[in-house]
Amino acid sequence: MKTIFHLDMDAFFVSVERILDPSLQGKPVIVGGDPHGRGVVAACSYEARKFGIHSAMPIANAFRLCPKGIFLHGHHKEYVRYSNAVKNLLEEKFPIVQQASIDEFYCDFTGCQKIYGEPQEFAKKLQQEIMNKFSLPCSIGISSNKSVSKIATDLNKPMGITFVPHGKEKEFLAPLAIERIPGVGKKTFPILKARGFNTIGDLANASQDYLASILGKFGIDLWNRANGFGSDILSLEHERKSISKETTFEEDIVGKTEIEVHLFKLVEKVAQLLRNENLNASTIGIKLRYSDFSTITRAKTIKEPTNDDKIIYQTAVNLFRAVYTRRVGVRLIGIHLSKLEHVSEQEVLFEDEELIRKRMLNAVTKIRDKYGSKIIHIGIVGNK
């Protein structure tokens, strides 16, 4: 049986902001932008959480709850830099490290006892080393699989260490509330609650067939996790599954042309990300939210995967025009790319025109990386 560490950086964005500006220590800090805008909270300090603020909350609501809070736009490049530094340290310690997100890692400790001793003691030393080297607090969960370790981490934050002995997974989970299981959120929670499920133990004692009849395949997955089962396989690379960007307007927009301009800007950003990571996308989707909060999403899978602004925009704008049928103000527009794959290096297979355009896009990417995204734009003529 394996021993899997789950390491989660505590209030990571806020922790990095406090490194950049130590005067933020001990204060309610909210990362997410203009408090009078219409964005959402990306992260908040534990001091801010005491006011009822949480991630994904509208930033305006956060301001109403804590008007004296410190609201920041954030420094994404710094977050990436510190994330990479933590990952490099973990890779020095563990044989396999899987990065689950910018602030979350799974590490395989199996067989490392001979080198480091008991997992709990090593976790304390690791936690302290990360704090000493980077001034970043983290919490660690330890069990036989990724699912239980993640729940264990979340149970004891910040700067917590939770160890679940092999064979005690089900017993550990049983008294916990069902919403402790990742994936049991706004939609699933009321469905389960209405049927008398309050604790993870309640789910574990139900039949697989019954949960499947309510929630489909997710019901079976839920039963497995409630019983302490989960994957112990770690992938060596953190493969990005999708790329998305969205913008919430300061004021609702009705004009189609103005919305399409914003969509174009989002396409520039996601296409740049694709090229930076040497990726192509096959599925292009858009998200449209009206002023009454009704939300529409549409997606299309194209024949040839691409990272070309022109192709992505033309697909996205056609999807937008097909769904924009109401004369109601638009609050948000977003774009989502999925079915990502690495770009083939065999440029010789491209036709001359395609090769020239690919080289042009690569040049644009390098210029933007060096001088900023606003320095150069690619002209796109959409379908009228």
Catalytic residues: 104
Sequence-separated contacts (24+) of 253-261 with Cβ below 8 Å: 253/329, 253/330, 254/327, 254/328, 254/329, 254/330, 256/321, 256/324, 259/320, 259/324, 259/330, 259/333, 260/317, 260/320, 260/382
From first CA to last CA, the distance across the chain in angstroms is: 61
Three state DSSP letters for 347-383: HHHCCHHHHHHHHHHHHHHHHHHHHCCCCCCCCCCCC
Is 138 in contact with 103 (CB distance < 8 Å)? no
**Contact (CB, 8 A) for 236 and 243:** no
**What one-letter code names the amino acid at 123?**
A
Q: How far apart are CA 311 and CA 324, in angstroms?
A: 20
Cα–Cα distances in Å, from 272 out to 87, 163, 361? Answer: 24, 42, 9
Side chain identity, residue 114: K
Q: E-assigned strands of 123-257?
A: 138-143, 161-163, 242-253
Q: Is the peptide bond before 158 cis (omega within 30 degrees of 0)?
A: yes
Beta-strand relationship, 279-290 and 295-306: antiparallel
